[in-house]
Structure 1
Amino acid sequence: MSEVLLKVDNLKKYFPITGGVLGRKVGEVKAVDDVSFFVKKGETLGLVGESGCGKSTTGRVLMRLLEPTEGTVEFEGQDLTKLKAEEMRRMRKEIQMVFQDPFASLNPRHTVEKILEEPLIVHGVKDKEERKRRVREMLEVVGLNSYHAKRYPHQFSGGQRQRIGIARALMTKPKLIIADEPVSALDVSIQSQVLNLLEDLQKEFQLTYIFIAHDLGVVKHISDRVGVMYLGRLVEITEADKLYENPLHPYTKALLASIPIPDPDLQQEKELLKGDLPSPANPPLGCAFHTRCSACMEVCKTTRPELVEIEPGHFAACHLYNK
Structure 2
Amino acid sequence: MNPNLEDQTNSPEVLLEINKLKKYFPVKGGVLQRTIGHVKAVDEVTFSVYKGETLGIVGESGSGKSTLGRTILRLLDPTDGQIVFKDSDISTIGNRKMRRFRKEMQMIFQDPFASLNPRMSVGEIIEEPMIIQRNLSKKERKEKVVDLLEKVGMSEDTRQKYPHEFSGGQRQRIGIARALTMNPELIIADEPVSALDVSVQSQVLNLMADLQDEFQLTYLFIAHDLSVVKHFSDRVGVMYLGKMAELGPKSVLYQNPLHPYTRALLSSVPVPDMDRKRDKITLYGELPSPSNPPTGCPFHTRCSEVHKRCKEEVPQFIEQEKGHYVACHLYTREDHF
TM-score grouping bracket, smaller chain normalisation = over 0.9
Q: Residue 269 of structure 1: CA displacement?
A: 1.3
Query: Aligned partners of 2:135, 2:229: CA distance in 1, in Å?
Result: 35
Structure 2 counterpart of 1:180: 190
Note if 1:30 corresponds to 2:40: yes
Query: Which of 82, 96, 102 is 1:72 aligned to?
Result: 82
On the 8 A contact 1:125/1:131 being kept in 2, the answer is: no
What pairs up with 1:294-305 in 2 under 5 angstroms?
294-305=304-315
**After superposition, what is the alpha-carbon deviation per residue over 1:192-235, rounded to whole angstroms, capped at 9, x for unaligned?**
00000010000000000000001111100111011100000001
Structure 2 counterpart of 1:207: 217
Query: Aligned partners of 2:88, 2:25: CA distance in 1, in Å?
Result: 26
Query: Which of 258, 275, 281 is 1:271 aligned to?
Result: 281
**SS at 1:290 equivalent:** coil
**SS at 2:125 equivalent:** helix
**After superposition, what is the alpha-carbon deviation per residue over 1:67-96, rounded to whole angstroms, capped at 9, x for unaligned?**
000001000000111321111122100000
On the 8 A contact 1:10/1:36 being kept in 2, the answer is: yes
**SS at 2:114 equivalent:** helix
Query: Which of 198, 202, 214 is 2:208 aligned to?
Result: 198
Specify the code of the residue in structure 1 equivalent to 2:171.
R
Query: Aligned partners of 2:276, 2:187: CA distance in 1, in Å?
Result: 38
**After superposition, what is the alpha-carbon deviation per residue over 1:173-196, rounded to whole angstroms, capped at 9, x for unaligned?**
000000000000000010000000
Query: Aligned partners of 2:314, 2:31: CA distance in 1, in Å?
Result: 36
Query: Aligned partners of 1:217, 1:9: CA distance in 2, in Å?
Result: 28
Query: Aligned partners of 2:279, 2:86: CA distance in 1, in Å?
Result: 45
Q: Residue 263 of structure 1: CA displacement?
A: 4.4
Query: Aligned partners of 2:94, 2:288: CA distance in 1, in Å?
Result: 36
**After superposition, what is the alpha-carbon deviation per residue over 1:133-167, rounded to whole angstroms, capped at 9, x for unaligned?**
00000000001111111000000000000000000
Query: Aligned partners of 1:182, 1:155: CA distance in 2, in Å?
Result: 19
Structure 2 counterpart of 1:111: 121
Note if 1:166 corresponds to 2:169: no
Q: Residue 300 of structure 1: CA displacement?
A: 0.4
Note if 1:96 corresponds to 2:81: no
Query: Aligned partners of 1:261, 1:272: CA distance in 2, in Å?
Result: 17
What pairs up with 1:220-299 in 2 under 5 angstroms?
220-299=230-309
Specify the code of the residue in structure 2 equivalent to 1:194.
V
**SS at 1:83 equivalent:** coil
Unaligned 5+ residue runs, structure 2?
5-11
Q: In terms of mean alpha carbon deviation, does 37-46 or 268-277 score higher?
A: 268-277
Q: Residue 17 of structure 1: CA displacement?
A: 0.3
Query: Aligned partners of 1:124, 1:41: CA distance in 2, in Å?
Result: 24
Query: Aligned partners of 2:118, 2:169: CA distance in 1, in Å?
Result: 16
Specify the code of the residue in structure 2 equivalent to 1:9.
N
Note if 1:149 corresponds to 2:141: no
Query: Aligned partners of 2:173, 2:82: CA distance in 1, in Å?
Result: 32
Aligned residues: 323
Q: Which runs of structure 1 show a deviation greater than 6 angstroms over 4 or more consecutive aligned residues?
A: none
Q: Residue 274 of structure 1: CA displacement?
A: 1.3
Q: Residue 266 of structure 1: CA displacement?
A: 4.2
**SS at 1:103 equivalent:** coil
On the 8 A contact 1:181/1:211 being kept in 2, the answer is: yes
CA RMSD of aligned residues (A): 0.9
What pairs up with 1:308-319 in 2 under 5 angstroms?
308-319=318-329
Specify the code of the residue in structure 2 equivalent to 1:97.
M
**Percentage identity across aligned positions?**
62
On the 8 A contact 1:287/1:301 being kept in 2, the answer is: yes
**SS at 2:210 equivalent:** helix
